[in-house]
């Protein structure tokens, strides 16, 4: 009887933690589908892909790792997929999914072999943090563009948008609400920001159209990745940055979350669950899932096991019926979330030893070149190529690991081949 009571209380607490986790992450359905839309996927298909990937990810985490983590398409990873891999290289959406599948397969191999540990120690921390900061600036730039706050200039690359336009005013008001809610640590602040932004957009006349009731039969639920470009060098040059980002982002996030839980014994299975989940996204039609930073909210709310993740999986499936309403969310309500997430990612700059120039310069190149080239892969390439050059120049080549030199050489070969191709 006592055991039964404990079970009931436990389920109640875990269920509540799962509910909070869902409310803090369901914004991803609107945000991710808009980013996938930039890569050529219809908005509603993007929503279904995001919902299914999130539900399946949480289910895998619940059953395989028994950990209270939420797996959703990663912010930053989705920008890398849409803007660098698909738009930037001219791959089709299905070819982009083939990149996702192979990069996730590499991620899965690192999860089941010693390769993960080897890479973890071989890649300098300064470069890993620089990628996160660069991604943050890139997301901020996309958010500023989506909100009309910056536009292409006549005499400059970028200039301020029209401050009197309804789109800019709506974005700024929503951004202020988002910052206020976030600094006050209001539960589900991104969701509340999005709802508030949609209401403001209604009054300023920039609201999106409500979708029709979902014709489920018309939607493609399974996507087939297109591997026709797999023999081309350029294809592998997109696989490479995605695999690196997936491996290190998940390593860092899962490690931090299990520290909160005091359950580092679950690291291996949680990391493997993340890899299985990422692998499935290539067939569901979205960029890969990662262990989301919002898992911290689940743990802080009392989530300790897979029951919280199971609750989130069920709730995500239920989100399918809200798609007609989610279609109404305008880009002015999405833009502030991208800007705030960008600001959070930029905080990693304090982890970079800026007083050591041989670490700071390559990191700086990654940070500035990701947004300035509008390509995460190219930005990473600049930093990885610069790292060994700077170390050799000042006689610190002993600090170089084999993987860093190999990665730098591959990026350099890609640049040379690209210039010869032109």
Which H helix or E strand runs over 250?
helix 233-261
pLDDT in tens, 308-342: 999 999 999 999 999 888 888 999 999 999 999 99
pLDDT tens-digit map of 400-419: 988 899 989 989 998 898 88
Q: What are phi and psi of 380, to 5 degrees?
A: -60, -40
Decide: helix, strand or coil at residue 150.
strand
47-104 residue pLDDT tens: 999 999 999 999 999 999 999 999 999 998 999 999 999 988 889 999 999 999 999 9
Residue found by looking up tokens 């509910």 in the block: 19
* Parallel, antiparallel or unpaired: strands 71-73 and 158-160: unpaired
Q: Return the pLDDT at 336.
A: 94
Per-residue CA distances from 239 to 53, 74, 93, 95, 104 (Å)? 20, 16, 14, 11, 9
Q: What is the pLDDT of residue 102?
A: 97
Question: Which of 8-12, 16-20, 69-73, 171-175 is least confident?
Answer: 8-12
Contacts 24+ apart (CB under 8 A), 262-269: 263/67, 263/304, 266/65, 266/66, 266/67, 268/111, 269/64, 269/65, 269/66, 269/67
The token pair that represents 158 in the structure block: 């970028």
Question: Could you give the percent of the chain with pLDDT greater than 90?
Answer: 66
Tell me whether strands 289-291 and 158-160 are parallel, antiparallel or unpaired. unpaired
Query: Does the pLDDT value for residue 138 go beyond 60?
Result: yes
Predicted structure pTM score: 0.87
Are 149 and 173 in contact by the 8 Å Cβ rule? The answer is no
**Domain boundary assignment for the chain:** 12-208+221-354
Q: 215 versus 359: which is more confidently predicted?
A: 359
Strand partners, 291: 71
How confident is the model over 189-214, as a mean pLDDT? Answer: 83
What's the chain's average pLDDT?
89
């Amino acid at each position: 009887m006592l055991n039964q009571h404990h079970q009931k209380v436990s389920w109640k607490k875990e269920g509540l933690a799962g509910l909070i986790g869902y409310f803090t992450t369901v914004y991803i359905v609107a945000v991710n589908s808009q980013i996938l839309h930039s890569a050529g996927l219809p908005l509603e298909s993007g929503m279904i892909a995001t919902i299914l990937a999130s539900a399946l990810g949480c289910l895998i985490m619940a059953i395989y790792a028994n950990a209270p983590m939420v797996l959703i398409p990663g912010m930053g990873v989705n920008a890398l997929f849409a803007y660098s891999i698909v738009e930037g290289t001219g791959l089709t959406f299905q070819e982009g999914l083939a990149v996702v599948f192979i990069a996730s397969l590499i991620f899965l191999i690192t999860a089941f072999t010693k390769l993960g540990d080897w890479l973890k120690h071989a890649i300098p921390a300064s470069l890993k943090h620089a990628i996160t900061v660069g991604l943050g600036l890139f997301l901020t730039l996309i958010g500023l563009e989506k909100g009309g706050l910056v536009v292409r200039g006549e005499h400059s690359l970028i200039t301020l948008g029209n401050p009197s336009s309804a789109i800019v005013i709506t974005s700024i008001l929503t951004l202020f609400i988002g910052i206020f809610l976030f600094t006050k640590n209001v539960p589900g602040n991104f969701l509340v920001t999005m709802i508030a932004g949609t209401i403001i957009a209604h009054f300023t006349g920039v609201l999106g159209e409500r979708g029709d009731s979902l014709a489920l039969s018309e939607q493609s639920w399974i996507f087939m990745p297109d591997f026709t470009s797999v023999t081309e060098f350029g294809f592998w040059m997109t696989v490479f940055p995605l695999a690196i980002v997936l491996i290190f982002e998940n390593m860092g996030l899962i490690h931090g979350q299990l520290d909160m839980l005091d359950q580092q014994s679950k690291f291996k299975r949680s990391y493997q669950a993340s890899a299985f989940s990422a692998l499935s996204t290539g067939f569901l039609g979205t960029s890969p899932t990662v262990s989301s930073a919002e898992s911290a909210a689940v743990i802080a709310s009392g989530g300790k096991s897979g029951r919280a993740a199971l609750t989130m999986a069920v709730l995500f499936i239920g989100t399918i019926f809200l798609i007609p309403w989610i279609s109404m969310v305008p880009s002015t309500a999405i833009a502030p979330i991208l800007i705030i997430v960008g600001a959070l990612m930029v905080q990693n700059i304090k982890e970079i030893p800026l007083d050591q120039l041989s670490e700071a310069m390559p990191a700086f190149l990654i940070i500035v070149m990701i947004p300035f080239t509008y390509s995460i892969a190219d930005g990473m390439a600049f930093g990885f190529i610069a790292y060994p050059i700077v170390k050799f120049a000042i006689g610190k080549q002993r600090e170089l690991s084999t993987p860093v030199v190999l990665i730098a050489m591959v990026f350099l070969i890609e640049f040379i081949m690209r210039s010869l191709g032109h």
